[in-house]
Structure 1
Amino acid sequence: MAIDSILSAILLSFLVLFLGPYLQTAKLCSCSDDHKIGNCHSFERLALLDFKKGVEDPSNMLSSWRLDNEDCCKWHGVGCSNVTGYVEELHLNTTWDTTQATRLSGGISPALAQLKHLKYLDLRGNALDSIPDQFIGSVKELRYLDLSGNYFEGRIPQQLGNLSHLHHLGLSYNRFSIQELQFLSHLTSLEYLGLSRSDLSKTGESLQYINRLHSLSELHLFGCQLPSFPLMTNFTTTLSVLDLSDNNFGGFFFKAILNFTALQSLDLSGNEIQGPIPKAIAQKTSLKTLRLGGNDLTGPIPDVLANLTSLECLGLEFNHLEGPIPLSFGAFCKLKELALSRNNISGEITEFVNGISLCRPNSLLEILDLEQTKLTGNIPYSIGNLKSLRELFLQQTSMNGTIPKSLGQLSELEWLDLSLNAWDGELTEDHFANLANLIFLIISFDEKPPKPLFFNLSSNWVCPFTKLSYLDLTNCQLGPFFPSWIRNLNRLGDIMLENVGISDKIPNWFPKIYPSLQALDLSNNQIRGKLPLELRNGLKFTEMDMLNLRGNLFSGTIPLNINETMPNLSHVSLSNNLIEGSIPSSICNLKLLEVVSLSSNNLSGELPQECWKDLQFLEVIDLSNNHLSGKVPISIWSAPGLSILSLSKNGFSGNLPPNLKTMGLLRVIDLGENSFSGNLPMWMGKRLPQLEILRLRSNSFSGFIHEHHCLLHSLRILDLAHNGLSGTIPHCFGNFSGMATVHPTDPFISSFGINNHEFVEQLNVWITKGIELEYNGTLAFLKCIDLSHNAFSGEIPTEITGLLGLSILNLSMNHLTGRIPEKIGSMQRLEVLDLSRNQLSGSIPQAFPL
C-alpha cells in the first residue's frame, strides 16, 4: 500500500505538472461567455473585431477579420499559442514608404485589454492617434511593443511602467511631448528603447532613468532636442547600438563612448560637432557603423580609421573635411557604404577604387557617395569590379574625362548620378550593357558644354534597364531624332530631356507607353508638331504633375479638355512655342495648378473670367508676350497665394483694382507694354511688403509717386518708364533697402523655386537709347530704377545715391532740374546712367570707382 500511495502521488504530480495548463484552459473555456472555434477564444475574437471597428482600414489589411471567418488565430497578423489558443502576437505594422492613405488610422480600442496573454504587439508605420490607458495597464505579459511612426501625441502613458517584462519598446516618430521618464525605472529587462523624434528637451534629470536600464543594448534618441549629451555610465558592456543624431549637442564626447566595449553602431550625425575626427575612435574595432555626417568636422580624414576592419558603413557627409581619401581605405573589404559628400575632399578616387576592387572574393561596397566634393580626374576602369555597387553618386565634383565602358558591368546598380561634371566623349551601348537593375539615371549638365556628351546609341537598341523610373539627361546630345530606345521603359515616371538636340516630332507611341508619367521636360529643343496633349483613344496622363515643353516649335491650340487628360497637373510651361488660339476655361479646372507659363506664343482673345478664383495653390502666372486683350479678370487679382504675375507685352487694359490688396505674397508684378491706366494705388507699399519687381513701363498710368510707395523695402527693380507720371521723385527712395546692398538679396529671383518646380523668370530691360537686354539667370544681380519718358520735375534726390547696389539708373526724358548729385560717383555698381533730356546742371564723373 505504501508503494501504491507513492506511485499515485507521483502520477498526480505528473498530471498537475504537464496537464495543468490544459486544465486551466478547460476551466476558462467552461465559462458561459467563452468557447473555442479552432484555436480561437470567442472573447478574444470579439475584442479583435472591436479593434477593427474603431479604425479606418483603406488597404484592407484586416479583411480576414470577419465573424464568418471564425478562427481568429488564422486572421492576418494574429498569432496564437499552439497550446492554449490565446492570442499572443499582433503583427499589424506597415512599411515606412506606405502612403498615409493606406495605413490604419483611428484609435486603439480599449477592448484589446482582453488580450491578457499578448506578448508581441507591432503597430509601426500606421496613422493611429490614441492609446487607452486601461489597455496599456492590462497587457502585462508584453515582451515586445512598437508603436513607432504613428500620430500619438501628448503624454506617454505612465502605465507603460506596468509592463515589467518588456524587452523592446519602440515609441519613435510620434508626437509625444515628454517631461517625465520615470516609467522606465520599472522596465528592468528592456534591451531596446526607441524614442526618436520625441521632445525630451524638458525631461531634465529624468534622463537618468535611461541610464538605469542595465540590460539595454539598443538606444535610439534621434532628433529628441536633448539639452546635452546624456551620461551613460552603465552601458559599458551592453550597449551595441547608439543613435544620438540630430540633437545639436555641439561638442565631442568620445571619451565616454570609448568605454562602450560592445558598441557596433554609433550615429552622432547632425550635432554641430566641431574640430578634427579624433584618432582615438579607431580603437573601437568592434564598430560596424560609424555616422558623423552633418557636423562641423574639419581637417583630413584620419588614416588610422582603416583600423576599423569590421566597418560596414562610414558616413562623414556634410562636413568640412579636406584632403584626399586615405589610401588605406582601399583595404575596407567589409565596407558596404561610404558617404563623403558635401566636403572639401580632393584628389582622385583611383587608388581607393583600385584597392577596394581587389577585395576577395568581391568588394561588398553597395553605396559610394562622393557628391559635391573637389575630387578630380576620371572614373577609373576598375569601377567595373565593384560588383555589389547599387548606388553611385559622383555629381557636382571636379571630375572630367571620358566615362569608362566598364561602368556597364555593374549589374546591381540601381542609382547612377554623374551630373554636373566635365565629361566628354560619348556613351555607347557598352556603357549600359548589364545595368538591368537601374532605376535612376542622371547624367545632366547645368548648361550645354562646347562639346556635349554624346549618346551614340543605335535606333534599334533595346536597353536593358527596363525598371528605370527616373531619367535626366539635360544638356547632353541625343538628337536629332527622338530617342527610340526609351520605348520599352514603360515604368518611367520622370523624363528630363531638356536641350538634348532633338529636332523631331514626338512619336505616336509616346503617350501609349507612359500613362503613369509624372514629370515630362522636353524644353529647349526644336521639337515640332501639335501639342501632345490631345490623346487619342481615351488615353490620359492621370499622374502627370509637371509638363515643361517651353522653347520648342509646338503648334496648335491648348486642348479644351486639358483638365481631363491631365487632371493632376500642377506645373505647366508651354512658353516660347507657336501655340495659338485662346486660353480655355478648362485650365482653371486644374485644381492643383501652381505654375502656369504660356509666354511668347500667339495666344489671343480675352482671359477666362471667374474660373481663376478656384485655383487655391496658384503661385505663378506668366502670360507675357502674346496677343491677349481685354480686362484682367478680377479673380486673378484676388489670388492670395500668387507670387509672380507677368502679363507684359499684351493688349490688356483697365486700372489696378483694389483686389490687389489681398495679394500679400506677390514678389513680381510685370504689366509692362499694355494699355493699363489710372493712378498708382498708395496702399501698394503697405499691402505688398514682399514685392521685389514692379514693372509697369509703356502703359498709360498717371498721377505721382507717393511716399507710401517707399514702403516697398524689398523692391529691387522699379520700371515705370513710358507713362504719364508727374510730380517729384520722393526723397524716401533711399528706403529701398533691396537696392542698397551690393550682393543679390534673395536667390528666389534668379530661379524661382516653387514647390520643387523651377520657374526661370525672363525680364527684358530697356537700358537706354532703344537698347533692350534680356535678363534670365542673372536676374538676381539686377537692381534697376527706370523712370524715363514721364513728366517728373524737381531735383534728383540725393538719397538715391545711397542705393549702392543699383546697376541701372535711367531718369531721361523728364523735366528734372537742379544739379546732378555730387555723390553719384560713389555708386560703384552703376553700369548704365542716363540723365539726358532734362534741365540738369553739374557734371558726371568720367569714370566711376571700381
Structure 2
Amino acid sequence: IVFLISFFIFSFSNAQEDSSVLLSFKNSVEDPSKTLSSWNISDNFCQHWNGVACTTKGRVSVLELEHLTLPGSLLVSTINALPFLLELSVLGSNFTDAMNSSEHACSLEMIKLSSNQNMTFTSSFDAMLSCQGLKVLNLSNNQIDGKIEVPIGNALEVIDVSHNLLSGEVPLFLSSQCRRLRYLDLSHNHLTGELPVDLLKNCTNLQQISLAYNSFHGPSFPSIHSLPSLEFLDASFNNFTGPVPAIHENLKHLNLSSNSFNTTRENLCPSLNSSRLESLILVNNKLTGRVLDSVLNCSSLKMLDLSFNLLAGEIPSTICKQLPKLEHFLAWVNNLEGQLPPNLASCSNLTKIILTFNNLSGNIPPELLSNTKSLQWLSLSNNRLSGEFPDSLEHANELLVLQLSNNSLQGKLPSNMTVQTINLRGNSLSGRIPASLNASFYGFSTSSPSFIDVSFNKLVGGIPRELGSMQDATYISLAHNFLSGTIPEELGDLKNMIGMDLSFNGLQGSIPGSFSSLQSLTGLNVSHNNLSGPIP
C-alpha cells in the first residue's frame, strides 16, 4: 500500500510538472487567436486543454500549437522539459528567434513545423539531432534557407522539407540512412547538382518521392528500378537530360514534366499486363520519334500526357487494345501525323482527348463521338482535318468541351449537342445557324453553352432570336461569316455576356436598345456590317 501511494504521489507530481511547463510556455508567447485560452490551471490539462493529449499515466504526449508568436529557443526548452512528448505540431506561427541545438535526449517521434514565418535554426537542423527515434519530420512551407547538412537519423519514415529555400546538393548520407524511409518530399526548393544513380539504392521501402521544382540537372538520375515499393515519383520542373529512366512494374504515378529528357526506351513499362502504371506525364521535354509506341506495354494507364514535345509518326491503331483503361489522352503541340484511328473509339473510358497543334489529317471518325460514351473534352484544333462535320456529335451526350478550330471541316452545324464550350473557328462550315442552339438542348437541364466561336466560316442567313435564351453564355463570336438580317433584340437578355463579336458580316438595322442592359459586357464588335442608328 505504501508503495502504491508513493507511486501515485510520484506520478501526480510529474504530471503537475508537465502542467507547469505548459503554463509557463503559455505565459511566454503571444496568442492573438486565443488558441490557448482553454489552458487554465483549474481544468484537467489532459482532458480539457486544446491541443494537448496525454499518456495513460497523465504525461503530455501530444502538443498541437497554431497561430502563435514564440521564440524558437522556448520551443526547444519546452520539448526538453516534456520527456514523454511523442508528437509536436506548430502551424501558422511566427518565430522570434532561432531554434537552438540541444544536448538533452528527445522522445519525439513526429515533428510537424509547417507554414510558419521566420523559422530558423542556429546550425542547419541540429535542433532535431537529439530525437533519435524521430519517424516523421515535416518542415514544409517555412521559407527555410541553407543546406541540408546534418544526418537525419535511421528511424525516419517521412521527410517533408518542401516549399522552402533550401539550396546546395542532396547529401550523400541520405543513401545510408533511408532504410525505413517511405515518403521523401524535397520539392519547391533551390536544390542543385546531379543526383547519383545509386543515391536511393538502400531506400527499398520508399513509396513516394517528390523532387519537383528544383534545379537538379544532368543525365544521371537515381535508379528507381530497384525500389520495389515505389508508387509515386514526381521529378518535374528540373533539368534532367538523357533517356527517361527505367521503372519498376509497381510504380503507379510518374511525372517528369518540364525537363530535357530526349528519348524513351523501346518499352517504357517492363512487361505487358504486369505494369501498374496509371499516370504517365512527360509534358514539355525534348522527346522525339514514335514515343507512343513505347508506352503500349503500360496496360494500366489511365492518364497519358505527352504534350509539348517533338513526337512524330501516327497514333498506333492498337492503342485502345493495349491501353484499355485509358481515360485522358493528351499529346498536343507535337508532330503527330496521319489519320485518327477509328478504333480510338474502343477506349470506352476516354473522357478527354487533346491533340491540338499536330499534323493530323483526314476525317473525324464518326464512332469517336457516338461510341465514347464518357467523352467530355475533345480538342483537335490546329490540325489538317477535313471532311464533313460529324453528325454523330449529336449523340455525344456527355461532351462539354468541343474544340475543332483551324481545320478544313465542311458541312452544317448540328442542332442537338450537350456542349458548353464550342470552338469551330476557322473551318469551312456552311448553312444556317440552327435555331435549336439554345438551353433546351445544351448541357444539363439548367445549363446552356458558355462559349461559342464559329467565326471565319461560311455561315449564312440570320442570327436566330432563340440564342437569347442561352442564359449561361459569356462569349459569342459569329464574326467573318455571311450572316444577314438584323441583330435580334433577344440577345440583350444574355445577362452574363462578357464579349460578343458580330463583325464582318452583312447585318443591317440598328444595335438593339436591349444591349444597354448587358451590364457584364466588356467587349462588343459589330464593325464591318451595314448597321445604322444610335449606339445604346
TM-score when scaled to structure 1? Answer: 0.51
Structural mapping, 1:82-481, within 5 Å: 254=38, 259-260=43-44, 286-290=59-63, 298-300=67-69, 306=79, 308-315=82-89, 321-323=93-95, 327=99, 333-341=106-114, 343=115, 345-351=116-122, 354-359=125-130, 362-371=131-140, 373-382=141-150, 384-395=151-162, 397-405=163-171, 406-411=173-178, 412-428=180-196, 432=200, 434-445=202-213, 453-456=215-218, 458=220, 465=227, 467-479=229-241, 481=242
| AA partner of residue 300 (structure 1) | T
The whole-number CA distance in structure 1 between the counterparts of 2:347 and 2:132 is 51
- 1:553 CA drift (Å): 2.1
The 1:256/1:620 distance shift into structure 2, 3 A limit, reads: farther
Contact 1:682–1:708 at 8 Å: present in 2 too? yes
**Equivalent position to 1:508, from 260, 266, 271:** 266
1:499 aligns with 2:268: no
Partner amino acid, structure 2, of 1:474: S
Partner of 2:317: 560
Deviations 1:746-800 (A, max 9, x none): xxxxxxxxxxxxxxxxxxxxxxxxxxxxxxxxxxxxxx43222112334445765
- Contact in 2 for aligned 1:668/1:693 (Cα 8 Å): yes
Q: Secondary structure of the residue that 2:246 maps to in structure 1?
A: helix
Gaps of 5+ in 2: 1-34
Mapped to 1, the partners of 2:320 and 2:394 lie a distance apart of 22
Whether the 8 Å CA contact 1:677–1:701 is kept in 2: the answer is yes
* Structure 1 residues 279-320: Cα deviation after superposition (integer angstroms, max 9, x where no partner): 99899972323568xxxx644369566455423223566xx5
CA contact (8 A) 1:634 1:659 kept: no
Deviation sequence 1:368-405 (CA, Å, 0-9, x none): 3344x3424234412x334322222233x352432442
Please, which of 455, 464, 467 is the counterpart of residue 709 of structure 1?
467
> 1:652 & 1:252 partners in 2: Cα distance?
67
CA distance in 1, matches of 2:146, 2:474: 43
How many residues were matched structurally?
A: 487
CA distance in 1, matches of 2:392, 2:98: 62
* Greater RCO structure (CA 8 Å; 6+ sep): 2
In structure 2, the residue corresponding to 1:533 is in which secondary structure?
A: helix
3-state SS of 1:471 partner: strand
Question: Per-residue CA shift, 1:512-563, capped at 9, x if unaligned?
Answer: 368332221222222122243378xxx7322111111222222222222222
Does structure 1 residue 523 correspond to structure 2 residue 301?
no
The one-letter amino acid paired with 2:133 is L
- Cα deviation 1:241-282 (Å, max 9, x = unaligned): xxxxxxxxxx9994799855765xx9xxxxxxxxxx969989
Deviation at 1:580, TM superposition (A): 2.1
Report the 3-state secondary structure (helix = DSSP H, G, I; strand = E; otherwise coil) of the residue aligned with 1:502.
strand
Aligned to 1:718: 476
1:790-830 C-alpha deviation (Å, 9 max, x unpaired): 12334445765776766654333222334556xxxxxxxxx
Partner of 1:786: 501
Over aligned residue pairs, what C-alpha RMSD do you find? Answer: 3.9
8 Å Cα contact 1:287/1:308 also seen in 2 = yes
Give the drift of 1:588.
1.1
Whole-Å Cα distance in 2 between the matches of residues 647 and 682 of structure 1?
21
Question: In 2, distance between residues paired with 1:526 and 1:390?
Answer: 35
Aligned to 1:756: none
Distance 1:542 1:308, change over 3 A: same
Q: Distance in 2 between matches of 1:676 and 1:555?
A: 29
Shift of 1:434: 4.6
Give the structure 2 partner of residue 582 of structure 1. Answer: 339
Does the Cα contact within 8 Å between 1:349 and 1:379 map onto a contact in 2? no
Distance 1:530 1:810 in 2: 45
In 2, Cα distance between equivalents of 1:792 and 1:705: 9
Secondary structure of the 1:659 match is coil
C-alpha deviation, 1:428, in angstroms: 4.3
Indicate the SS of the match to 1:564: helix
Distance 1:353 1:646, change over 3 A: same
Query: Per the alignment, do residues 339 and 795 of structure 1 end up closer, same or farther by CA in structure 2, a change over 3 Å counting?
Result: farther
Map of 1:631 onto structure 2:
388
The match for 1:676 among 420, 429, 444 is 429
Deviation at 1:696, TM superposition (A): 0.8
| SS of residue in 1 equivalent to 2:60 | coil
Give SS of 1:381's match: coil
SS at match of 2:370: helix
- Residues 713 and 455 of structure 1: CA distance in aligned 2, closer, same or farther (over 3 Å): same
Does the CA-based 8 Å contact 2:98-2:119 persist in structure 1? Answer: no
Change (3 A) 1:599 1:329: same
**Cα 1:427–1:717 shift into 2, 3 Å:** farther
Deviations 1:58-104 (A, max 9, x none): xxxxxxxxxxxxxxxxxxxxxxxxxxxxxxxxxxxxxxxxxxxxxxx
Summarize the Cα distance change of 1:252–1:496 in structure 2 as closer, same or farther, 3 Å threshold.
same
Q: What do the CA deviations read for 1:614-637 (whole angstroms, capped 9, x no partner)?
A: 323211111112222223333333
Structure 1: gaps of 5 or more residues? 1-250, 267-276, 446-451, 741-783, 822-850
In the aligned structure 2, how far is the partner of 1:562 from the partner of 1:351?
56
* Letter in structure 2 aligned against 1:498: S
The answer for the alignment partner of 1:183 in structure 2 is: none
Aligned counterparts of 2:298 and 2:198: Cα–Cα separation in 1: 33
Contact conserved, 1:356 with 1:363, CA < 8 A, in 2? Answer: no
Change (3 A) 1:430 1:502: closer
Amino acid at match of 2:237: N
**Contact residue 436 and residue 464 of structure 1 kept, 8 A:** yes
- Residue 299 of structure 1 contacts residue 321 of structure 1 at CA under 8 Å; is this kept in 2? yes
Structure-1 residue corresponding to 2:18: none
Normalising by structure 2, what TM-score? 0.77
Contact 1:432 1:463 in 2 (8 A): no
**1:796-811 alignment runs, 5 A limit:** 796=511, 809-811=524-526
Q: What is the CA-CA distance between 1:674 and the residue it aligns to?
A: 1.4
Cα distance change of structure 1 residues 713 and 365 upon mapping to structure 2, 3 Å threshold: farther
SS state of the match for residue 347, structure 1? coil
8 Å CA contact 1:377, 1:400 repeated in 2: yes
Q: Equivalents in 2 of 1:634, 1:626: separation in Å?
A: 20
SS in 2 for 1:314: strand
